[in-house]
Amino acid sequence: MQNFTFHNPTKIIFGKNTIGQLGGEAKPYGKKAILVYGQGAIKKNGVYEQAVASLKSAGIEFVEYSGVRANPVLSHTREGIRLAKSEKADFIAAVGGGSVIDEAKAICAGACESHDVWDFYTGQATPERALPLVAVLTVAATGTEMNGGTVITNEETKEKFGWGNPILAPKVSILDPTTTFSIGAAYTAYAAVDSVTHLLEGYFTSNDPNTILQDRYVEGVVRSIIDVTETMIQKPDDYEARATFMWAATLAWNSISPCGIGAWSTPNHLIGHSMSALFDTPHGASLSIALSGWLPWYTEQGAAQVRQLAQLGKAVFDITESSPNHAAESTIEALRNWFRRIKSPTKLADINVDASGMEAIAENVEMSTPHWRLPDYNKARVINILKRCR
Amino acid sequence: MQNFTFHNPTKIIFGKNTIGQLGGEAKPYGKKAILVYGQGAIKKNGVYEQAVASLKSAGIEFVEYSGVRANPVLSHTREGIRLAKSEKADFIAAVGGGSVIDEAKAICAGACESHDVWDFYTGQATPERALPLVAVLTVAATGTEMNGGTVITNEETKEKFGWGNPILAPKVSILDPTTTFSIGAAYTAYAAVDSVTHLLEGYFTSNDPNTILQDRYVEGVVRSIIDVTETMIQKPDDYEARATFMWAATLAWNSISPCGIGAWSTPNHLIGHSMSALFDTPHGASLSIALSGWLPWYTEQGAAQVRQLAQLGKAVFDITESSPNHAAESTIEALRNWFRRIKSPTKLADINVDASGMEAIAENVEMSTPHWRLPDYNKARVINILKRCR
């Protein structure tokens, strides 16, 4: 096990009828907020009304800033920062999914600086401070509700970059699983894939045989997510399935699972980000494609990798084949079959990307590799990986 | 799944050669500390020197307060509070195991109030504030390094009581697994039993079939602990085993595992505390006795309970018997066999307690039940449970 530091001060309020706590929880952070949200879905399911009523009853004045896109973009973020500055906001209240909270984090940091917010994403600047953030999460998936990470896309340069800093972590996040009842089948599936990918990228980041505790943690959360995803799709208002997934998605990416595994080495989010930056592919959809190709490529790297796949298959899919190679193959196929059952794509053709598109993705990955500090994912290797998608 | 709030702001610094960070991490909390430690074990393994050197190099003045006992007692705690007040300490630095940190928490709270510190333990008072606490953990077991709980014993009334408040959570805890190399076989075993009991008490606290995520979490951490305990006993300086256990013990009791399971209902710590209060039984030793009797009693409560035992046995011990009743029995026996292998007692005779001692324990439990807010553990039922220990 490698040395690590873990520090996650976000307060989580989880369960039914919890959005009414927003105002009271936000009050310590000031009197004036920018209320950031997306395309208006929260006005259809009652979340907007609950959040606004709670802020008002706590005496908090706020200015609305809506229109955050599913892959949030730099131009809209810059506009939000201008608003936060001109309104002299004390804090940001974000109500929505991962995109809304990610953009809100950028506004929190950018509102305290005079330079362009993209400088944080390129690593040219590090924030000393940020406005406090309180959040109501309405789409479980990215884990942003309980970490200091943020990812946005620069539309001009076609770069989807991320960065993290503990000061960006929400002070409090409210998670009411009933708010996710209205998420459709496709995005429910993509959310599950996103969370599973967070976990598996850590699982495969090293071959250290002494991360048994981390391995068991990942296996347990992955298995739980797979156990409930089809129920969520078939019965969108199944509270227990939605609740299990919502908490699982947080536990998948709140910095616990990577403790002790060393520096990140897996490229699936990187490949997915390039796909999204070029083709606006939904984040989760890009990840099932990436994993579908990367896992077989990874398995070819050695016996230790094969054993890892076999171990995962046993823990998550009850695969008990005695040959490690066969077990590894069955594990990959079981995962792909899960993607297919929940209708998350497994190959580029599923999202209408052809060979030239594959080249463009691989070039974008190569360009982005230094930003994500990942080893050895050049154009040729990425094409090699993407050709294995099926 | 039940509603819950999770908030755990403790910063964990984990790994080899990390104690030197104590001074730098403590500096934001003031210039003068009380350095709390136990019976002097930290002077034999180099931990004391490292901690003291780090505090000094950060310019922190400190007064030493040693002598904390393995089951920390109220009289020594009161003395520590007097010292913290007279020295006008800014914060407390605790270096040691769970007992040292638990007593240090009591000193943190008591030093800010004029009333007796025991009032917190009896629920007659709730603190508004506490001195900040920084900790170096040298015995993994209780999880106190990352929670707001504290347990001490009132020697006069023979009450071993606990309470918790988020303001007691250490600001930072440093966990260097090498500091645990010097822990002997018995206390290594008791520590493992303590952590496993934390997890299993939550696991069995409800029969809710919709806590699959929580179940997988517990199964994974329990299995990891059982996987490494005998290695720790046989090779005390096995870094990987010690590291796995140290982080597992934190994850076992840092408030994650009970999220969503509802109000606590299991009595093993309660029974153990009574045993320790009356017979000074080591905490972990009392728990293997309690579990050894409580699990068969619990299994008799119904089919859902039997299924839970069978599920645990499959996940932790690879027990695959098709009859749930047989699987449940085998699970209990597998756990008892693990206790026996690591030489943690499974019955009262192992700690030289006779039938009148059993009566006394059961009476003490009945008296303590209201304090721990547990249902229905009266004297007759506790005797019924303790008779099943074997």
Residue of B nearest to A238 (CA): B210
Test A3 with B16 for CB contact under 8 angstroms.
yes
For an interface test with A, give the residue of B6, B207, B224, B251 to mutate (most A CBs within 10 A). B6
Show the DSSP H helices in chain B as ranges.
22-26, 47-57, 74-86, 98-110, 118-122, 185-203, 212-234, 239-252, 268-279, 283-299, 303-317, 324-341, 355-372, 379-386
Please report, in angstroms and rounded to a whole number, the separation of the first and last CA atoms in chain B. 35
For residue B176, the distance in angstroms to the closest alpha carbon of chain A comes to 9
Whether B32 and B60 have beta carbons less than 8 Å apart is answered as yes
Above 80 in pLDDT, residue B280? yes
pLDDT one digit per residue (tens) for chain A, 390 residues: 999 999 999 999 999 999 999 999 999 999 999 999 999 999 998 999 999 999 999 999 999 999 999 889 999 999 999 999 999 999 999 999 999 999 999 999 999 999 999 999 999 999 999 999 999 999 999 999 999 999 999 999 988 899 999 999 999 999 999 999 999 999 999 999 999 999 999 999 988 999 999 999 999 999 999 999 999 999 999 999 999 999 999 999 999 999 999 999 999 999 999 999 899 999 999 999 999 999 999 999 999 999 999 999 999 999 999 999 999 999 999 999 999 999 999 999 999 999 999 999 999 999 988 887 787 899 999 999 999 999
Test A224 with B244 for CB contact under 8 angstroms.
no
Cβ neighbors of A289 (< 8 A, separation 6 or more) are A272, A275, A281, A345, A346, A347, A348, A350, A351, A386, A389
The whole-angstrom separation of Cα B88 and Cα B78 is: 15
Cα angle B31, B33, B34 (rounded to 5 degrees) comes to 165
Residue range B80-88: average pLDDT?
Answer: 98
The whole-angstrom separation of Cα A142 and Cα B97 is: 37
Rg of the Cα trace of chain B? 20
Tokens of B231: 């290695």
Residue A239 has a pLDDT of: 98
For residue B14, the distance in angstroms to the closest alpha carbon of chain A comes to 5
Q: Which percentage of chain B shows pLDDT scores above 90?
A: 95
Test A11 with B18 for CB contact under 8 angstroms.
no
Q: Note the Cα B111 to chain centre separation in Å.
A: 23
Residue of B nearest to A170 (CA): B7
ipTM for the predicted complex: 0.96
Residue of A nearest to B256 (CA): A251
Above 80 in pLDDT, residue B298? yes
Tokens of A270: 């990187």
Above 90 in pLDDT, residue B189? yes
- Looking up tokens 């001195």 gives B131
Test B14 with A4 for CB contact under 8 angstroms.
yes
B4-21 pLDDT per residue, tens: 999 999 999 999 999 999
Residue range B263-279: average pLDDT?
Answer: 93
Whether B23 and B54 have beta carbons less than 8 Å apart is answered as yes
φ, ψ of residue A65 to 5 degrees: the values are -140, 100
Give B-chain residues touching A216 at CB under 8 angstroms. 219-221, 223-224
> Three-state DSSP class for B375?
coil
Using the Cβ of B318 and the Cβ atoms of chain A, whether some distance falls under 8 Å is answered with: no
Residues of A (218-257) whose Cβ lies below 8 Å from B: 219-221, 223-224, 227-228, 240, 243-244, 247-248, 251, 256
Phi-psi region of A302 (alpha: psi -120 to 50; beta: other; left: phi over 0): left
What confidence category does residue B210 fall into, taking pLDDT thresholds of 50, 70 and 90?
Answer: very high
> Three-state DSSP class for B72?
coil
What confidence category does residue B370 fall into, taking pLDDT thresholds of 50, 70 and 90?
Answer: confident
Test B240 with A4 for CB contact under 8 angstroms.
no
Tokens of A175: 């998670």
The whole-angstrom separation of Cα B59 and Cα B76 is: 28
Give B-chain residues touching A14 at CB under 8 angstroms. 3-6, 259-260
Structural domains of chain A, with CATH: 11-179 (3.40.50.1970), 183-386 (1.20.1090.10)
For residue B75, the distance in angstroms to the closest alpha carbon of chain A comes to 34
